[in-house]
Amino acid sequence: MVRTRFAPSPTGYLHIGGARTALFNYLFAKRNGGTFVLRIEDTDLERSKIEYEKEIINDLKWLCLDWDEGPDIGGNYGPYRQSERSDFYIKELNKLVDKGMAYKCYCTEEELEVQRKLQLKEKKPPLYDRRCLKLTDKKKQEYISQGRRPSYRFMVPHKFLDYVDLIHGKMNVDTSLISDPIIVKSNGIPTYNFACVVDDYYMGITHVIRGDEHLDNTPRQILIFEALGYNYPHYAHIPMILAPDRTKLSKRHGATSVRELKDMGFVPEAVINYISLLGWSPKENREIFNILEIIERFDFDHILDHPAVYDIEKMKWFNHYYISNILTSEEIIGYLKLLGIDAEVDVMKYRQIVDFEKSRVYLLHEFVEVFNIVNTNFIEYDLSDKSVTQFVNVLKTIYDDLSTMDLSSVQAVKDGLRLIQQKHGLKTPDLYKPLRLALTNKLEGVELPKIIYLIGKENLLKRVQNFIDFVDKKSKV
């Protein structure tokens, strides 16, 4: 039985890399009929916030990455927050102490910091020298009376460790190069490498799928598993997602959190499809896959072992493709409402605008522009560097024709416009440009006949008249 987990720490929003890690864990579990668990790693008391946990859960739900066990829904291997699992950690720490594989360290953070800097300065690897292992009882008493609280370190057995990474293949590590990690802090709270091992064991995790930045943690964790006498899970380290400047993705790069993507007008299906193809690719020569098709094809053989650079332009194309070719207008309206976009136009028009526009939209909020154009009562013209006197002349000439035009359908509008063209000997751009500018204050956008159909005759005439007045007034000044 396959069991995978996504284990975020609630110290910030879910970002694109985390989402991809969650996705791969989800995919592997689903592909193998296994279980996907969500575990919250909140051992950093200062930085962990319950709000972030809620945000991460919301974002995962938005992406439809459902878990089978987690802090919100429970399960047989709970609790699912590390802050609620102290009993497990204490029990396992005692085992290590009894075996002589963990020891108390009385060094202060400041002392450690000084030593580390010194080693780095001498261009030596910063290794802990195990000085607290040789402490006399007298010295210990002295530290204790000073009020020092010990942390616990894991005593790393020095050897050559062989293991297999499902993506990178055979690994061989000289563990004498690994510093004894602190596994329980002086405040009694376990650190990542220890809590992670204990939880992966007790939660029955069979496959640990995580980013490459954890590659160096793996030997430490395997060693702790071995010291405890437990079998360790399979490890699969997936390539990192890098920003366009080829460095680790961070807030300063912008548009990296799932929340931002959602607010920008991305649709979850497109985000999932795009990130699934970052570091993984199916055999077929195509790129559009729904989640079921991805699950069907997902395997470790086609996961790359080099990092991928994140390109938001390509993700926009996926978004465009999903909006125009895959999602129904109802689904799009659902997402618009989720964004709080509830245009003050009637239901029929809302639906019509979505139908008209979906084939050209890249980001959801582009619909808003159209809503606004249709809905507004007053357009503030910005004609700074457009030459408009000719436009006004055309509009004055055709004003009467517009007032008698049939607006009952888009086709009727098209026919009407063509008649006007013929009557006055106007080329298409000569008619369309002035009209578009008068109606929308723009020279590009939705198909003009659709706009005219949507706003209706009263608005059409009002806007054209306003435009003429505006330009006349301006030219007098």
Partner RNA sequence: GGCCCUGUCGUCUAGUGGACUAGGACACCGGCCCUUCAAGCCGGAGACACGGGUUCGAAUCCCGUCAGGGUCACCA
Q: How far is the CB of 184 from RNA (least distance, A)?
A: 8
Give me the helix-helix angle, 16-31 and 50-62, nearest 10°: 60
Q: Say if residue 266 is exposed, middle or buried (CB neighbours under 10 Å; 0-12, 13-18, 19+).
A: buried
- 361 versus 471: smaller Cβ distance to RNA: 361
SS3 14: coil
Cβ-based nearer residue to RNA, 304 or 338: 304
* d(C-alpha 85, C-alpha 92), whole Å: 12
DSSP β-bridge partners for residue 62 = none
Choice from 182, 208, 438, 455 touching RNA (CB under 7 A): 182
Residue type, 173: V
Interface residues for RNA in 17-46 (CB under 7 A)? 41, 43-44
* Contacts of RNA in 186-205 (CB under 7 A): 186-187, 189, 191-193
Q: Which of 79, 135, 155, 179 binds RNA (CB under 7 A)?
A: 179
The residue written with tokens 């946990």 in the block is 53
Question: Is position 73 an interface residue for RNA (rule: CB under 7 A)?
Answer: no
Binding residues for RNA, rule CB under 7 A, total 91
* Helix, strand, coil percent values for the chain (each to nearest 5): 50, 10, 35
- Cβ 1 to RNA shortest distance, Å: 25
Q: Are 396 and 295 in contact (CB under 8 A)?
A: no
Query: Can residue 151 be called a binding residue for RNA (CB under 7 A)?
Result: yes
Closest CB to RNA among residues 62, 280: 280
Secondary structure class of 269 (helix, strand, coil) = helix
Q: Considering only residues 258-277, where is the footprint of RNA by CB under 7 A?
A: 277
Query: 251 catalytic, yes or no?
Result: yes
Give the number of other Cβ atoms within 10 Å of residue 121's Cβ.
8
- Find the shortest distance in angstroms from Cβ 70 to RNA: 15
107 is a contact residue toward RNA (CB under 7 A): yes
In the set 278, 364, 395, 452, which binds RNA (CB under 7 A)?
278
CA distance 344 to 309: 40
Per CB under 7 A, 372 contacts RNA: no
One of 54, 61, 117, 251 is an active-site residue; which one? 251
Nearer to RNA, 296 or 469 (CB): 296
- Per CB under 7 A, 175 contacts RNA: no
> Does the N-terminal peptide bond of residue 79 adopt cis geometry, omega within 30 degrees of 0?
yes
Q: What is the x/- site pattern for RNA, positions 222-261, by CB under 7 A?
A: -----------------xx-x-x-xxx-------------
Instruction: Report the candidate in 353, 358, 335 with the shortest Cα–Cα distance to residue 263.
Output: 335
Q: Are 232 and 226 in contact (CB under 8 A)?
A: yes
Subset of residues 279 to 298 that bind RNA, contact rule: CB under 7 A = 279-281, 283, 285-287
Burial 179-205 (b: 16+ CB within 10 A, else e): bbbbbbbbeebbbbbbbbbbbbbebeb
Q: Between residues 265 and 472, which has the closer beta carbon with respect to RNA? A: 265
**Residue 455 CB, nearest distance to RNA (Å)?**
14
Closer to RNA at the Cβ: 101 or 277? 277
Cβ within 8 Å of residue 394, ≥6 positions away: 424, 426, 430, 431, 434
Of 50, 133, 177, 419, the one binding RNA (CB under 7 A) is 177
Write down the residue that tokens 């010291």 correspond to: 227
Window 427-456: residues binding RNA (CB under 7 A): 428-429, 432-433, 436, 443-449
Q: Which stretch binds RNA (CB under 7 A): 25-33, 49-57, 170-178, 346-354?
A: 170-178
In this chain, which of 32, 108, 375, 465 binds RNA, going by CB under 7 A? 108
Q: Are 353 and 332 in contact (CB under 8 A)?
A: no
Residues 327-366 that bind RNA (CB under 7 A): 359-360
Taking the least distance from each CB to RNA, the nearer of 124 and 473 is: 124
Q: Which of residues 113-142 bind RNA (CB under 7 A)?
A: 116, 120, 123-127
Nearer to RNA, 301 or 400 (CB): 301
Query: What would the DSSP string read from start to end of 342-386?
Result: --SS-HHHHHHHHHHHTTT-SSTTHHHHHHHHHH-S------TT-
Q: Please pick, from the candidates 226, 263, 401, 415, the single residue that binds RNA as defined by CB under 7 A.
A: 415
Residues marked active site are found at 251
